[in-house]
Amino acid sequence: MSRIGQIPIPIPSSVKVDFKDSGVQIEGPKGSLDWIIPQGIDANIEDNVITVARANDTRQQKALHGLTRSLIANMVTGVSEGFEKKLRVVGTGYRAEVNRQNVLTLDVGYSHTVTFNPPEGITLTVEPQESIDGQTHIPITISGIDKQVVGQVAASIRQIKKPETYKPCKGIRYDGERVRDKEGKVAG
């Protein structure tokens, strides 16, 4: 029995859920999302609560049961509240800015500036730089309604300049990420 799949999903008053054919479309104040429900999984609405059930107890159906429930719950949260991830650009002389077309421009120690054009539905904001423990930090916020896309954009931006393990004060990292400091070579 899937523990996650059995949890009911409450629907906020500002969200409209519609099951068509084998898919679900969810609309809210922040936008709309749709997804095709896998075969063998049924979703129903009763008293402003969505419940998800599976057809049989095969291993694949059990996995899809919990997955479907989690994805529908994330869609409901996304269209009503939205999701956001925070990154920090750490390094002396590093710069980040977002122009009016929502394109991120990064100067992170390369000989050229790096531009990142996010997919549609993703908003990037760069806050003023801060100084923490003598290091300059530039916070970047990625926000949108689709949790998977927000996470993928954050990972792609982090991939531009990963935190260095021998110089942990440089690179792009998640907010709150702790970079392990490796010891350099010892002359012997």
Identify the structural domains of the chain with CATH numbers, from first to last.
Answer: 3-80 (3.90.930.12), 83-174 (3.90.930.12)
pLDDT tens digits for 55-108? Answer: 998 999 999 999 999 999 999 999 999 999 999 999 888 999 999 999 999 999
When pLDDT is cut at 50, 70 and 90, the band that residue 2 belongs to is low
122-128 average pLDDT score: 94
35-74: string of b/e by CB count within 10 Å (b at 16+)? eebeeebebeeeeeebebebeeeeeebeebbbbbbbbbbb
When pLDDT is cut at 50, 70 and 90, the band that residue 115 belongs to is very high
Q: Are 94 and 160 in contact (CB under 8 A)?
A: no
pLDDT at position 153 over 50: yes
Q: Are 48 and 10 in contact (CB under 8 A)?
A: yes
Strand-pair partners of 54: 41
Q: Which residue has the higher pLDDT, 176 or 151?
A: 151
**Prediction pTM value:** 0.88
pLDDT at position 1 over 60: no
